[in-house]
Amino acid sequence: MELEPTTAVLYTDGASKGNPGPAGAGFVLSDTAGRTLASAGIPLGVTTNNVAEYRGLIGGLEAARELGVTVIHVRSDSELMCRQLGGQYRVKSARLRPLFEQARRLLGEFDTVRIEHVRREFNELADRLASDAAKASGRGRGESHGTGR
């Protein structure tokens, strides 16, 4: 008997107040019915927005892997990250290269992957988690907030 693939949708975002500045990442992992499986806001200290975008993606992919997800649909409002992961843009930044490579390795662990660029208004919860985490970074806090992690 074959098991059904475990499918999830991952909304991910990053925020930096100053670029570079106090930064945070956020993700929301949901099942296909829209029920939240895991979510987190991750304070990152001082870094750039693009680094924060990748950190949100990596955090969400790690949570999905831990929950046994095999089919993942990533939705992000970072056009740069989506196009880099899709091969349309090269990764020129030495700071982003290791994060890009880590994300590609994690994506390779899923049976099926779809990456979609969405407008910010379709990514509100991950955006809020990332923004709150960036504010926490600005206050010197290092804890994460969310579920399932």
pLDDT of residue 5: 58
93-118 per-position pLDDT tens digit: 999 999 999 999 999 999 999 999 99
Angle (CA) 124 128 132, round 5°: 175
pLDDT of residue 4: 53
Residue with tokens 């008997």: 1
pLDDT of residue 143: 41
CA 111 to chain centre: 18
Q: How many angstroms separate the Cα of 69 from the Cα of each of 16, 50, 52, 113, 132?
A: 29, 25, 23, 11, 27
Q: What is the pTM of this model?
A: 0.91
Domain ranges (residues) in the chain: 7-144
pLDDT of residue 147: 46
pLDDT of residue 140: 72
Q: Find the DSSP H helices in the chain.
A: 49-66, 79-85, 97-107, 124-138
Residue 90 predicted with pLDDT over 50: yes
What does the pLDDT average to over 124-144?
85
The yes or no reply on domain 7-144 and CATH 3.30.420.10 is: yes
